[in-house]
């Protein structure tokens, strides 16, 4: 990478222009390849086209689509023009998608055919595969704008404890720093990086930007499917992979596909969303025998550079603090255990349009992650959990209060409590305890269906049990630990 000032200009141009930069694989076997020159040309065409259609510097464009090569080209092109791309989680309910689009102020939504019906009426939508796309492309060279230090380059939406998605404003400079810092640790030049996580998540997008800057090739799946993931490694000899624990569990179940595949090409697997314990590490090594395992940690607000695994981190540890990042633990039994606060150039500018949300940036410039860690005597850090009961299911963050709020809008529900239980595929999954309103006979299936209709599918409770009254602790607060133990017992006895 040279030294760009615009995040959309991150593409490495030192290699041959015809080398594949993105290989998009569809589940039907179709393949779409963009060389470095083709990706650059399409990004420039989007930059020129957006401006020609009347968008201005600082405007937003939303992207509501599964992963595809032109998704990346659009994001790069928008940033080159000073226009802010806002990828949208298409797993949100349609109502939440409408809220996110309204909050973002997006002038236009680019979508794929499968997501077209999720765009609310009255919002201009452009189908990536439709005839209207051509009018948004104006081929020709484009000189990227030079952004101001505090100018947003990108908006990523994340759900917080308030239950309403928040737009995280990220500057051009912040994620150029991320790219350069990660390249200094692990340059991906010549590698083939497999990405199946959604591009609306920090993990996937940051890895794609890193690959573009390094001159690597991204092998891009629309979404994660275990068999397709295995076949992609085998067919295209991928050397880097990113994953979360449920992906490994689902891959292990594809015995026929594994028996026919050679996965020895993978040299690095970057694991996120949950600690890599000894059992999980054993499963990864059984699948990917030549892979070095990186136990990664990052947040949308604070970026993916926090810890470094250099120096022989023990099992379950995310490593020691990166040399260019300052961290501290506060509360609890700090400095041994506490909530992680961090400071680096990657920290967000703030939340878009959310004066109601208390800023997690401290007065002295640290980002309060809300994640509890412990530090051992050798300086290695271990993730303990969320300070607010959040848990991870299949790579998705679930806040019990959000699901409880949905359940309690049902006319037959008086009170609800959601807790996680262990699951071999998802890592954890939500279950619920409900107190019905007097005289109600609402059943389990009706409540599961209700949540599916009003919240992301991954958040719906897999089981619902009914109580005459909610279990309370001695503090008169809901006894979540007791409910979780009861849920585990119910599942064992089922």
What CATH number is associated with residue 71?
3.40.50.12780
Tokens found for residue 261:
């595949």
| C-alpha closest to that of 46 among 70, 21, 66 | 70
In the chain, the number of structural domains is 3
The answer on 53 and 202 residing in a single domain is: yes
Report yes or no on 409 lying in a domain.
yes
Report yes or no on 306 lying in a domain.
no
Q: Rg of the chain over CA atoms, in angstroms?
A: 23
The answer on 202 and 114 residing in a single domain is: yes
DSSP codes joined into one string, 391-416: EEETTEEE-HHHHHHHHTTSTTEEEE
> For the chain, percent helix, then strand, then coil, each to nearest 5?
30, 25, 40
What span, in angstroms and rounded, lies between the C-alpha atoms of 45 and 289? 42
Quick check: helix, strand or coil at residue 308? strand
> Looking at 387, 406, 429, which one is the last position of a domain?
387
341 Cβ neighbours under 8 A, 6+ residues apart: 327, 328, 329, 330, 362, 366, 367, 368, 369
The answer on 342 and 218 residing in a single domain is: no
- 377, 178 Cβ separation under 8 angstroms: no
The answer on 30 and 135 residing in a single domain is: yes
What CATH number is associated with residue 477?
3.30.300.30
What span, in angstroms and rounded, lies between the C-alpha atoms of 139 and 77? 12
- 24, 32 Cβ separation under 8 angstroms: yes
What span, in angstroms and rounded, lies between the C-alpha atoms of 142 and 51? 11
What span, in angstroms and rounded, lies between the C-alpha atoms of 21 and 13? 11
DSSP code, position 473: -
What span, in angstroms and rounded, lies between the C-alpha atoms of 484 and 489? 9
pLDDT at 476: 44
Domain around 363: 327-387
pLDDT at 53: 97
Q: Return the sign of the alpha-carbon dihedral for residues 277, 278, 282, 285.
A: positive
The answer on 480 and 332 residing in a single domain is: no
pLDDT at 178: 96
- 407, 432 Cβ separation under 8 angstroms: yes
The reply to whether omega before 132 is within 30° of 0 (cis) is: no
- 354, 389 Cβ separation under 8 angstroms: no
- 42, 70 Cβ separation under 8 angstroms: yes
The answer on 409 and 352 residing in a single domain is: no
| C-alpha closest to that of 92 among 335, 456, 390, 375 | 456
Report yes or no on 93 lying in a domain.
yes
Tokens found for residue 467:
């109580």
The answer on 177 and 155 residing in a single domain is: yes
First-residue to last-residue Cα distance in the chain: 57
What span, in angstroms and rounded, lies between the C-alpha atoms of 77 and 50? 9
The answer on 186 and 219 residing in a single domain is: yes
pLDDT at 409: 85
The answer on 49 and 18 residing in a single domain is: yes
What CATH number is associated with residue 355?
2.30.38.10
> Looking at 194, 223, 252, which one is the last position of a domain?
223
- What is the Cβ-side half-sphere exposure of residue 289, based on CA atoms within 13 angstroms? 6
pLDDT at 283: 77
Place of tokens 């340059």: 187
The answer on 156 and 72 residing in a single domain is: yes
Report yes or no on 241 lying in a domain.
no
The answer on 399 and 377 residing in a single domain is: no
What span, in angstroms and rounded, lies between the C-alpha atoms of 233 and 243? 13
What span, in angstroms and rounded, lies between the C-alpha atoms of 234 and 194? 11
Quick check: helix, strand or coil at residue 248? helix
Quickly count: other Cβ atoms within 10 Å of residue 488's Cβ. 14
> Looking at 346, 367, 387, which one is the last position of a domain?
387
Instruction: State the pairing for strand pair 367-375/125-127.
Output: unpaired
- 11, 36 Cβ separation under 8 angstroms: yes
Report yes or no on 321 lying in a domain.
no
Q: What is the mean pLDDT of each run of 10 residues along the chain (494 residues)?
A: 88 93 93 97 98 97 97 98 96 90 95 94 94 97 95 86 79 96 89 94 93 96 94 96 79 89 95 70 85 90 92 84 96 86 97 90 95 90 78 83 84 88 91 88 95 92 91 61 92 86
pLDDT at 475: 39
Report yes or no on 402 lying in a domain.
yes
pLDDT at 268: 93
The answer on 331 and 182 residing in a single domain is: no
């Amino acid at each position: 990478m040279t030294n760009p000032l615009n995040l959309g200009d991150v593409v490495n141009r030192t290699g041959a222009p015809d080398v594949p930069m993105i290989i998009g694989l569809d589940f039907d076997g179709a393949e779409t390849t963009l060389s470095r020159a083709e990706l650059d040309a399409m990004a420039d065409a989007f930059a020129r086209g957006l401006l020609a259609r009347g968008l201005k510097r600082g405007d937003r464009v939303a992207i509501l689509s599964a992963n595809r090569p032109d998704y990346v080209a659009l994001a790069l092109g928008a940033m080159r023009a000073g226009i802010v791309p806002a990828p949208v989680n298409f797993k949100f309910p349609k109502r939440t998608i409408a809220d996110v689009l309204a909050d973002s102020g997006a002038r236009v939504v680019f979508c794929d055919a499968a997501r077209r019906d999720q765009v609310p009426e009255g919002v201009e939508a452009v189908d990536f595969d439709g005839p209207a796309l051509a009018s948004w492309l104006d081929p020709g060279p484009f000189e990227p704008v030079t952004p101001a230090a505090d100018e947003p380059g990108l908006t990523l939406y994340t759900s917080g404890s308030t239950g309403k998605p928040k737009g995280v404003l990220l500057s051009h400079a912040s994620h150029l720093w991320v790219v350069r810092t990660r390249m200094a640790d692990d340059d991906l030049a010549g590698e083939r990086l497999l990405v199946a996580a959604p591009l609306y998540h920090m993990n996937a997008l940051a890895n794609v930007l890193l690959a573009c800057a390094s001159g690597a090739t991204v092998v891009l799946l629309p979404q994660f499917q275990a068999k397709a993931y295995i076949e992609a490694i085998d067919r295209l000899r991928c050397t880097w992979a990113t994953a979360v624990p449920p992906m490994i569990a689902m891959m292990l179940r594809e015995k026929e596909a594994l028996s026919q595949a050679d996965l020895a090409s993978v040299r690095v697997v970057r694991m996120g969303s949950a600690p890599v314990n000894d059992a999980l590490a054993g499963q990864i090594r059984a699948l990917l025998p030549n892979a070095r395992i990186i136990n990664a940690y990052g947040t949308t607000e604070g970026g993916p550079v926090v810890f470094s695994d250099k120096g022989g981190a023990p099992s379950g540890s995310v490593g020691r603090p990166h040399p260019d990042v300052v961290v501290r633990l506060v509360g609890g039994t700090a400095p041994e255990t506490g909530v992680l606060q961090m400071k680096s150039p990657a920290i967000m500018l703030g939340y878009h349009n959310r004066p109601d949300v208390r800023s997690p940036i401290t007065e002295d410039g640290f980002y309060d992650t809300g994640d509890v860690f412990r530090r051992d005597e050798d300086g290695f850090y271990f993730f303990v959990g969320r300070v607010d009961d959040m848990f991870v299911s299949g790579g998705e963050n679930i806040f019990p209060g959000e699901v409880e709020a949905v359940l309690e809008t049902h006319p037959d529900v008086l009170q609800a409590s959601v807790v996680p239980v262990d699951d071999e595929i998802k890592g954890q999954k939500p279950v619920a305890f409900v107190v019905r309103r007097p005289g109600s006979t609402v059943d389990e299936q009706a409540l599961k269906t209700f949540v599916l209709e009003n919240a992301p599918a991954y958040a719906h409770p897999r089981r619902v049990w009914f109580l005459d009254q909610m279990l309370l602790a001695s503090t008169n607060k809901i006894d979540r630990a007791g409910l979780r133990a009861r849920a585990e017992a119910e599942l064992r006895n089922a």
